[in-house]
Structures are given as C-alpha cells and as structure tokens.
Amino acid sequence: MVSTRYDLGALTVVLVFGTVLTRVLLLRTRGIQAMKFGDLDKTDFLIPPFALLYFYLIFANAFAWPTVVHNQLWNMPWLAWIGVVLCATGFLLMLLSLISFGSSFRVGIDITHPDQLVTSGIFALTRNPMYVAFACVLIGEFLIYPSWILLIYLVAGFALFHRQVMREEACLRRHYGAEYLAYSERVRRYL
C-alpha cells in the first residue's frame, strides 16, 4: 500500500511534465515556438539541475532506488492519500490550463510573439492555474513522502513560482495594458 502512494506520486510527475512537453512539441509542429524558458533571464538555467534531483527523489521513493533521504518527518498514511488527491488535482488543473491556453501556451515569457490574452476557461477562476497546479503537485508529493528535502523543495518552489508570476504579470501589463488590468481586478492571482 505504501508503494502505491509512491507510485502514484511518480506517475503524477511523469503525467504533468509529459503533458507540458507534448504540448510544446505539438505547437512546434504548427510553427509555434512555445519553449521560451531562459530567454529573458539566463539564471533560469540554474533550475533544471535542481528539478532533476527532485524527480530522482520522487522516483527513488517509488522504486526503492538509493537516496540521500532515509527518514520521513511523520508516518500518517491518511495524510499521504491526501497528497495523492492533491497530485491528481494538480494534474487536472494542468490539463484544464493547457486546454484553456490553446495556442497561446508558452514555457517562459514570449515578448517577441505574444498571443492573445487568455481569460476564459480555468483562467476565469485563477490568473495562474499552471502555477496552482504545480503547487498542488509539490504539496502532494511532500505529503506522500514527508522529508526535509522535499520540504525545502516545496518552499523553494513556491518562491520560484511567485518570482515567475511577478515577471510574467509585468510583461502582461506592458503588452495588454488596460485589458490585463481589468482582468487582474476580476480574477485572483492564485486562488
């Protein structure tokens, strides 16, 4: 039963990132360059090595690979199952985000070819559904395997998400002006 929770946590990581990468590749076939990660700030390239370690830690728990983390902060199976539900919620939010985005989806900030401002679908409930989705997954993974290192990732992830949201919102205000300001008055940043 414990391994099932870990397996579902690992499956969530595969599904979330696989879905995003699939969308990027599908947009590329339509001539849309959706991968803009690191175009504006080269320090963004410091993130992938830490993300790879995070993925390894999640898979190490699921498949009993060697890991630096051996002790859980607590052992409450019911809390771990809440984590599984949060991971599933995060994946669902990710799917709804990608559907709502349509061809406007980008990884990073696209200042050269921005598409239309998306305010419908899941974007009518939150201005940043993808970051809410990632936050749900990070919290869920931490509850599935509550270790000190995943807690550090959780806090760092929230800080990085917020930093990116602030950067994106500044670009959106510059590009869309009053339209974006009206949207941001109607819809909350996160929840």
Domain CATH number, residue 12: 1.20.120.1630
> Helices (H) and strands (E) in the chain — how many of each?
6, 2
Tell whether 116 is covered by a domain.
Answer: yes
Which sign, positive or negative, has the C-alpha torsion 26, 32, 33, 34?
negative
CB under 8 A, 24+ apart: contacts of 162-165: 164/131, 165/128, 165/131, 165/189
pTM score of the predicted model: 0.94
Tell whether 83 is covered by a domain.
Answer: yes
The span from the CA of 62 to the CA of 84, in Å, is 13
Tell whether 191 is covered by a domain.
Answer: no
Range of the domain at 54: 2-186
Tell whether 27 is covered by a domain.
Answer: yes
How many structural domains comprise the chain?
1
DSSP assignment of 8-74 = HHHHHHHHHHHHHHHHHHHHHHTT---EETTSS-GGGGGHHHHHHHHHHHHHHHHHT---S----S-
Per-residue pLDDT 10s for the chain (191 aa) are: 567 888 999 999 999 999 999 999 999 999 999 999 888 888 888 899 999 999 999 999 899 999 988 889 999 999 999 999 999 999 999 999 999 999 999 998 888 887 889 999 999 999 999 999 999 999 999 999 999 999 999 999 999 999 999 999 999 999 999 999 999 999 999 99
